[in-house]
Amino acid sequence: MIRITREADYGILLMTNLTRAEGQPRSAAALARQSHLPLPMVSKILKTLARASLLTSQRGVQGGYSLARPPVEISAADIIGALEGPLAITECSGESHDGCSRQDECEVSGHWPRINRAIHAALQSISLAEMSRPDAPRPLRFHSPSRTEIAGIVDRAV
């Protein structure tokens, strides 16, 4: 349906593992072992997350990475955004709308920002703290909400 890269996927996994480390720094190598992911990949991802200020890094012998903020203050949107760049859901819905040759008829200004906001709100509503609890943290609802019901809900979020 909608794709995020594997980097972001791994990134979330690594962040949840770091959450469980409870503040003590973990080296890239340790996290790679724990996550069964190739070390170079893990290194690359952690570096990116550190540059985005989601992680703090400590160099040297006993160094490693740790969360820069408490896990309730880090959202899925933060992590995914850091790893996929700030680019938007589709090209010309990003910042530079200038080069768009079909500005008049594509109506980007209409629907894409709306969709973007909705997705962003959805991702921002999910915290790392929640994601680190694998067990269902709240009861599932067994009647799927009607579309209009959801519309009303997300409506307010957009």
Partner DNA sequence: CATAAATAGAACTAATCTAGTACTGATTAG
Partner DNA sequence: CTAATCAGTACTAGATTAGTTCTATTTATG
Quick check: 38 binds DNA (CB under 7 A)? yes
Quick check: 46 binds DNA (CB under 7 A)? yes
Which is closer to DNA, CB of 60 or CB of 139? 60
Question: Residue 70: how many CB atoms within 10 A of its CB?
Answer: 12
What phi and psi, each to the nearest 5 degrees, are found at residue 67? -65, 140
Site for its own copies in 99-138 (CB under 8 A): 101-102, 105-107, 109-112, 114-116, 118-127, 130-131, 133-135, 138
Give the C-alpha separation, 131 to 75, whole Å: 9
Residues with Cβ < 8 Å from 7, sequence gap 6 or more? 41, 44, 45, 48, 83, 84
Part of the chain binding DNA (CB under 7 A), chosen from 14-22, 63-71, 97-105, 132-140: 63-71
In the 8-state DSSP scheme, what is residue 75? B
Please pick, from the candidates 57, 116, 124, 132, the single residue that binds DNA as defined by CB under 7 A: 57
What is the full DSSP assignment across 116-132? HHHHHHHHHTSBHHHHT
Please pick, from the candidates 1, 22, 23, 62, the single residue that binds DNA as defined by CB under 7 A: 62
Per-residue binding string, its own copies, 43-62, x by CB under 8 A, is --------------------
Query: What single letter denotes the amino acid at residue 53?
Result: S
Please pick, from the candidates 14, 15, 28, 131, the single residue that binds DNA as defined by CB under 7 A: 28
